[in-house]
Amino acid sequence: MVQYSYFPGCNLKTNAKGFEKSAVAVSKKLNAELVEIPNWNCCGTVHTMTSDNLMKRIAPVRVLSRSRKHIEELEDSPNEVATLCSMCNSTLKIVNKEVKVDEDKLSKINYQLEEDEETYAEDMEVKHFLEILRDSVGYKNIAKKVIKELKGIKVVPYYGCMLLHPEEAKIDDEEMPSVLEYLMESLGAEVIFSPLFKFCCGSYHIVDDETIVDSQVSKILQDVRVKGANAMVVACPLCAYNLDYQQKKLIKQTGEKNPIPIFYFSQLMAIAMGEPIEINHFEDHQIDPRKLLKELKLEG
Amino acid sequence: MAKAKPKTKTENSTPMVKIFIMGAAHEVPASLTIMKAIEYAGFKITRGSGCRAGFCGACGTIYRKEGDYRIYAALACQTQVEDGMVLTQLPFVPAPKARYNVDELQPNASAMLKYYPEVARCLSCNACSKVCPQEIKVMDYVQYSLQGQIKKAADESFDCVQCGLCAIRCPAEIPQYHVGMLARRLHGKYNLKAPENLEHRVKEIEDGVYTEAFSELMKLSKADLKKRYTERDFIDQKKA
Amino acid sequence: MSYEYIKFGKEEREFREKIEEISGENVFSCYQCGKCSAGCMFSDKMDRTVNQQIHRIQMGQKEKVLAANTHWICASCLTCSVRCPRDIDVAAIMEAIREYILREEPEKIIVSELPKEVLERLPNIALVGNFRKMTG
């Protein structure tokens, strides 16, 4: 079994438990097992865009260094940190590139890490699980493991901004990405395109000004409904929260009759591959996807 | 007023070292702990001293050494003096504990973030772990708290003596020792097995099982009490 | 027609240089094409657009730059940086304005005033991201 050193990120242990559990389950089926780093620390997203703040770069470098140590214990493991959270993916990739390019920055950060015996030797790459599925596992192999095609699911793939920006972090073309589309098709779902596929959900503004998130989310969901979709698929726990939680709030305010459940891509994979439905922790969602799954006889 | 002549190496066979207390130099015997050395130098410690056994965390000390820019930390009662130590004591660290009711919480990240949201500011710089006199991996337990892994946070912070030195060094201004305390309280209440023997004994006391025996003891004279103590045995009277 | 005279001296130059130092970008690369503002998904909520702010930084107009809400509405989505035809990291310039303020006054968002129900409900990633961008 190929094993990947897996970095969860804080949200995968709390609000996005279903994302992690379903992803780990399907990873085992696809010979790309995600094995959690035993002593990981928060990556400190969103990455700092200042040129001079080294403190804020210590956390991601420490993650890379700890992952490198972790790989020694795994079987058949490439020098890659696997991530599920898009925001963590972006932060780790960007800082990894920064320290590889700027020796001075790395040596100063390593000076701090030396005492903890966790210096980073620039020998790791960062891969989002979607990249692993596309490049190492392959869509054909995914399709082979599907035992229940997702007939009736009309899904809009929503990338959010962190998966596609900037150059160092993106996993696909930023204006015309296709990884989620191909993945959904290999599961037998119908893919519907929305031009708002990377219209930022509002991200961390959910803390200081909810109205910003409400404005973004209502625009996205309006387009999804107009296009006739009945679900959305995402790869970022913060996007999922904003689209799910704020949607519930907006539905209460506007009386909208058409709720759109928000799925993580690994949850749809888990359903298609016959995993027990509890693994997805759908009870944590505000808009319960089980209603739609029951209608389509997909709840397993 | 004539100053007392400091004991020098030639006068005494005890090896001496020079330490700096509040910036003033003092010659003290090299074998003393920092706490004893401060008292040897003539100071009376009224705050910043407690159990003198490395358990209460009152004697947090920050020091540097002459010629060395690095900052070190220690518990004064447990650490031997070194030549050139430049000391300051930290009897109190300002970090108000949040007021919460563990009955209303669950052992998860939400509980930690509700009362200590600054935990989300952790930079993973590890300054806290480096300064901990108990060699606890402080940053790790703060991270576990942020991630909602309450058991791991409680286990990792178990040796904490609440000296507060971590909180003083933290650039994100987190009160780590309070965070650890909340994690341990939640873990103890919700995750660990209830201590049956303790609960049983407390109930016995409340039911008055031992009231008579204690009243009897309280009435004894000192001589009789001593006699009872020296003649005590450990055989269970009920089983005998 | 009305005119406004702007001062352009040492203070103005120092402000621009500080922004350039923090961001690592050359603001004079910008030729005001407006693509950043056009692509910015939060433009409708900003009182001054992104390119307007950059022009003001070029002119060193510190008070005007800091009085706008542009950099606080920015969500660091990086769409502007990715699309800039001059390869300027526009989001880094927005971050530099935030840092310029936070390094003096570190509490744009006062954490102790966030309501407890909100802290309990929000995902920890939102708090981590928000505090990174809005506290110093």
Return the CATH number at A58: 1.20.1050.140
The count of structural domains within chain B is: 3
Does residue B204 belong to any structural domain of this protein?
Answer: yes
Predicted pLDDT at B10: 52
Alpha-carbon distances of A62 from A56, B224, C126, rounded to whole Å = 11, 66, 21
Q: Is the pLDDT of residue A200 over 50?
A: yes
CATH number at residue A273: 3.40.50.11810
Return d(Cα A244, Cα A221) in angstroms, integer. 10
Interface size, chain B vs chain C, as Cβ–Cβ contacts under 8 Å: 33
Q: Is the pLDDT of residue A150 over 90?
A: yes
Does residue A87 belong to any structural domain of this protein?
Answer: yes
Q: State the average pLDDT over residues A121-147.
A: 94
Residue B2 — pLDDT band, cuts 50, 70, 90?
Answer: very low
Does residue A138 belong to any structural domain of this protein?
Answer: no
Task: Name the strand (E) or helix (H) holding A264.
Answer: strand A262-264
Residue B9 — pLDDT band, cuts 50, 70, 90?
Answer: low
Residue B117 — pLDDT band, cuts 50, 70, 90?
Answer: very high
Each residue's pLDDT tens digit, C110-120: 988 999 999 99
Same domain membership, residue A10 and residue A37: yes
Same domain membership, residue A250 and residue A187: yes
Residue A207 — pLDDT band, cuts 50, 70, 90?
Answer: very high
In this structure, what token pair is assigned to residue B94? 């300002």
Neighbours of B72 (CB within 10 A): 18
Same domain membership, residue B21 and residue B85: yes
Does residue A227 belong to any structural domain of this protein?
Answer: yes
Name the residue range of residue A71's domain: 3-130
**Per the omega criterion (within 30 degrees of 0), is the bond before C85 cis?**
no
Residue at B194: amino acid letter? A
**What is the length of chain B?**
240
Same domain membership, residue B171 and residue B138: yes
Predicted pLDDT at A300: 67
Residue B101 near chain A (CB below 8 Å)? no
Q: State the average pLDDT over residues A204-218.
A: 94
Contact list in C for residue A51 (CB cut-off 8 A) is 21-24, 92
Q: Which residue has the tokens 């904490």?
A: B160
Return d(Cα A273, Cα A238) in angstroms, integer. 26
Predicted pLDDT at B6: 56
Chain C closest-CA separation from residue B202 CA (Å): 35
Of the three residues B89, B114, B134, the one that is the final residue of a domain is: B89
Point out the residue among A56, A166, A207 whose CB comes nearest to the CB of C127.
A207
Does residue B95 belong to any structural domain of this protein?
Answer: no
Same domain membership, residue A291 and residue A159: yes
CATH number at residue B28: 3.10.20.740
Does residue B3 belong to any structural domain of this protein?
Answer: no
Q: How many CA atoms lie within 13 A of A242 on its CB side?
A: 32
Q: State the average pLDDT over residues B179-189.
A: 96
Q: Is the pLDDT of residue B3 over 60?
A: no
Q: State the average pLDDT over residues A81-92.
A: 95
Of the three residues B89, B121, B141, the one that is the final residue of a domain is: B89
Closest residue in B to A118 (Cα–Cα): B126
Residue B28 — pLDDT band, cuts 50, 70, 90?
Answer: very high
Contact list in A for residue C135 (CB cut-off 8 A) is none
Does residue B10 belong to any structural domain of this protein?
Answer: no
Same domain membership, residue A174 and residue A117: no
Contact list in C for residue B147 (CB cut-off 8 A) is 124
Q: State the average pLDDT over residues C95-116.
A: 92
Share of chain A above pLDDT 70, in %: 100
Each residue's pLDDT tens digit, B141-159: 999 999 999 999 999 999 9
Q: How many CA atoms lie within 13 A of A40 on its CB side?
A: 29
Same domain membership, residue A180 and residue A86: no
Q: State the average pLDDT over residues A113-130.
A: 92
3-state secondary structure of A4: strand
Interface size, chain A vs chain C, as Cβ–Cβ contacts under 8 Å: 121
Same domain membership, residue A61 and residue A23: yes
Predicted pLDDT at A48: 92
DSSP summary character for residue B116? -
Does residue A284 belong to any structural domain of this protein?
Answer: yes
Same domain membership, residue A291 and residue A152: yes
Same domain membership, residue B80 and residue B23: yes
Same domain membership, residue B22 and residue B35: yes
Name the residue range of residue B84's domain: 16-89
Of the three residues B89, B112, B136, the one that is the final residue of a domain is: B89
Does residue A143 belong to any structural domain of this protein?
Answer: no
Same domain membership, residue A159 and residue A98: no
Q: Is the pLDDT of residue B239 over 90?
A: no
What does the mean pLDDT of chain A come to?
93
Does residue A201 belong to any structural domain of this protein?
Answer: yes
CB contact under 8 A, A116 and B148: no
Contact list in A for residue C133 (CB cut-off 8 A) is 46, 204
Residue C4 — pLDDT band, cuts 50, 70, 90?
Answer: confident
Residue B11 — pLDDT band, cuts 50, 70, 90?
Answer: low
Same domain membership, residue B162 and residue B128: yes
3-state secondary structure of B29: strand
Same domain membership, residue A120 and residue A62: yes
Please tell me the least confidently modeled range out of A27-31, A87-91, A164-168.
A164-168
Predicted pLDDT at B238: 61
Distant-in-sequence, close-in-space partners of A166: CB < 8 Å, separation ≥ 6: A94, C78, C81, C82, C89
Same domain membership, residue B133 and residue B183: yes
Residue B235 — pLDDT band, cuts 50, 70, 90?
Answer: confident
Pick the closest to residue C85 from C19, C29, C27 (CA basis): C29
The count of structural domains within chain A is: 2
Each residue's pLDDT tens digit, A242-262: 999 999 999 999 998 899 999
Q: State the average pLDDT over residues C105-127.
A: 91
Predicted pLDDT at C1: 65
Chain C closest-CA separation from residue A211 CA (Å): 10
